[in-house]
Amino acid sequence: MSSQDETTGARLLVERLRAEGVEVIFGYPGGVLIPVFDALYDERAIRFVLVRHEQGAAHAADGYARATGKVGVCLATSGPGATNLVTGIATAYMDSIPMVAITGQVKSTLIGNDAFQEADTTGITRPITKHNYLVRDVRDLARVVREAFHIASTGRPGPVLIDIPVDVSNSRVARPSGEIEMDLPGYAPTYEGNVRQIERAAALINSAERPVVIAGGGVIASGASAELRELARKARIPVATTLLGLGAFPEDDPLSLHMLGMHGTVYANLSVQKCDVLVSVGARFDDRITGKVDTFAPNAKIVHIDIDPSAISKSIRVDIPIVGDARRVLARLVPLVQPKERPAWLELIEEWKRMHPLDYRRDGKLRPQLVVEKIRELTRGRAIVCTEVGQNQMWAAQFYGFTEPRTFISSGGLGTMGFGLPAAIGAKIGRPDAVVVDIAGDGSIQMNIQELATAVCNNLAVKVAILNNGYLGMVRQWQELFWKRRYSHTDICGVPDFVKLAEAYGALGLRVTEPDEVEPALRQAFADERPVLIDFRVEREENVTPMVPAGAPIDQFELV
């Protein structure tokens, strides 16, 4: 065997990542990863982005994946490096995001001996990954990488972890020749959908008087937005979206009901409660959507289209289950659905829209909804909007008005504070020509604010709009509404001077305290080629409305 036919495990890893089309890796070095980083030293096709915390690497890979549809990749060392990835991996798992997380591990002979910086990474991450690997033989490495990317990006997407002991990285191995064979017995996602079930769904839709579609993140993952629009417009079916489905159906379309659920629109929730046929596409009926389960869509026959069979009838009993890829199923369904005007149903919904519009007090005070509306106006609705978690997230979801898929990036299932800034970094790297805005809260942004350094060092002109109310706002809102204003540890002490902090990192910092300052500050931010952080000092006790109390039926609202 010639030396050209042989390499180390570390170099083979990098070569296989390149073969999988990897363009960027987000990560942080460590001792057991030195062989891998030495291989990356000579790599020109793959960009490595050094973050300031491993959690930032996972969220950046996640944001990259959501913005591009490609598999995000993150890299961390053993022990604390790997455990710092856990929150980001769990975030991707809950939201079905394709990711490959690669971790270093101590020598194979030391595994289980409490060696320095050892952790049972595969054991820790087993519940929050679609699959994971501990590579004990370097000859398995090429196959493992191939399988990891295949599993992460097919079926219901999700994160896959590869744990590599340092002796495997240092071992020498023959380069594989030809196609890498996978060994995945039993892994065969269903894509096409059962023809008979699709015909039954079409017949049910054709007979409906008051149909509604719920569009979830699966519509975006499968690239089914065009088919969804065709279905809705052909059959005149109003469409509500989940939080992660925002952008799957344009919110400026008259058929749009906008977001439903706990902080959804009144008219979306009423439409679901009064419909006679409910078609869910790529949504998993989580508790923030359904409210009290036994009162959800009480008069509806339910069609559920999802690529994951375990998601069907998991929370809500459905009448017509269809297991398959959303785009392929809708492509078969649309020709079978008949055009139908449904004037009485659509007029009733228009009346609900007139009676219960999304709005806020316009009294000359700086309110967070105004900031979101101005961001929308100045970006013409074409920005990629990332969010942190909490009130800032809900105001962005309610008031931006998303019209295209992959333009809203937010932690849905796990609700991870600190997600937005690193996710925005990943999105900006994946789509460098897009305007990328992180709409943040003053509490959440501090979870990963160190990633401003990553943005500065990589010349990433992300814009951070902090809706600063001096509270952990969403928890404070619950304390106000349901706990007699007993604000236990939600009034944040020691909020930094965000302008000075931005400047310390080398970014531009701006502060806004009055409504008439919002537009000039945003114009300045969007014109600047640096990362920009704007501290908007908004009304402290502004609430997200409407709100359905946890566990209540989704047509029982708090409107204050």
Could you give all domains of the chain from N- to C-terminal order, each with its CATH number? 3-174 (3.40.50.970), 195-355 (3.40.50.1220), 368-537 (3.40.50.970)
Q: What is the pTM of this model?
A: 0.97
Q: List C-alpha distances in Å: 514 to 208, 368, 537.
A: 50, 11, 8
Please identify every stretch of the chain with a pLDDT value under 70, giving residue numbers as ranges. Answer: 1-4, 560
Which of 476, 418, 412, 428 lies closest to 451, judged by CA? Answer: 418
pLDDT at 392: 98
Which DSSP category does 381 fall into?
Answer: T
Backbone φ and ψ of 213, nearest 5°? -105, 135
- Cβ-based neighbour number of residue 126 at 10 Å: 12
For 450, residues 6+ apart whose C-beta sits below 8 A from its C-beta are 52, 53, 56
pLDDT at 4: 63
pLDDT at 3: 53
Q: In what order do the strands lie in the sheet with 159-165?
A: 47-50, 24-27, 72-76, 99-105, 159-165, 131-134
Token reading at 225: 């937005």
pLDDT at 495: 86
Write the single-letter amino acid at 12.
L
Helix (H, G, I), strand (E, B) or coil at 400: coil
Backbone φ and ψ of 402, nearest 5°? -85, 135
Which DSSP category does 542 fall into?
Answer: -
